[in-house]
């Protein structure tokens, strides 16, 4: 999928490579949640009807990873992802642009997502293709389950409760790192 290389280049273009340090309390701020919501709304808007395609593809890949190991072979996975490549790249562009406008680093965005999904007790997964992009020999795509549960700060649970529908709808965005 030629889109993966372009997506990696976009990720490198995102601001704040490692400036974010999560608070020791693990509590989200209203500013972080508002920024996260605005960014995801923009990505969702850019995807339009393609969100359904991403949902179907993410569900297929999660199902495949559950039937064996959490690792997926590169060639069949790339073939499976190829039909959504253009939509994925378009959404990745929207993400990087929205992150930049919001002044949010990729690290803070991902941390905020993890805290919200954890607090909402929503089972969400994420496809990791970092080793494939780095050209690691015998690399595989891996599927990781995002932390979820009820032992989250009450502030985070309150934020998550107010946006549970959106978080569920955006689970495919989480899967693809969007």
* 101-125 confidence digits (pLDDT tens): 898 998 999 999 999 999 999 888 8
Distance set, CA 147 to CA 5, 30, 150, 161, 172 (Å): 28, 21, 10, 17, 16
Q: What residue spans define the domains of the chain?
A: 2-11+29-175
Q: For the chain, which residues score pLDDT lower than 70?
A: 1-18, 67-70, 130-139, 148-150
pLDDT of residue 163: 97
Instruction: Tell me how far apart the alpha carbons of residues 117 and 146 are, in angstroms, rounded to a whole number.
Output: 8
Burial class from Cβ neighbours inside 10 Å (0-12, 13-18, 19+) for residue 134 reads: exposed
pLDDT of residue 147: 74
pLDDT of residue 150: 63
pTM: 0.86
Instruction: Tell me how far apart the alpha carbons of residues 67 and 24 are, in angstroms, rounded to a whole number.
Output: 37
pLDDT of residue 80: 77
Burial class from Cβ neighbours inside 10 Å (0-12, 13-18, 19+) for residue 156 reads: buried
């Amino acid at each position: 999928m030629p889109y993966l290389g372009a997506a990696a280049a976009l990720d490198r273009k995102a601001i704040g490579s490692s400036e974010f340090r999560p608070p020791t309390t693990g509590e989200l701020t209203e500013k972080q949640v508002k920024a996260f919501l605005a960014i995801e709304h923009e990505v969702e808007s850019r995807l339009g009807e393609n969100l359904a395609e991403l949902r179907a593809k993410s569900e297929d890949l999660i199902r495949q990873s559950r039937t064996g190991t959490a690792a997926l072979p590169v060639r069949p996975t790339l073939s499976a992802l190829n039909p959504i490549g253009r939509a994925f790249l378009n959404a990745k562009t929207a993400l990087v642009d929205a992150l930049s406008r919001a002044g949010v680093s990729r690290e803070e965005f991902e941390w905020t997502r993890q805290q919200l999904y954890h607090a909402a007790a929503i089972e969400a997964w994420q496809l990791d293709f970092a080793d494939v992009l780095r050209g690691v020999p015998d690399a595989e795509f891996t599927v990781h389950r995002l932390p979820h549960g009820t032992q989250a700060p009450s502030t985070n649970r309150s934020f998550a409760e107010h946006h549970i529908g959106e978080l569920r709808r955006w689970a495919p965005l989480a899967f693809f790192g969007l």
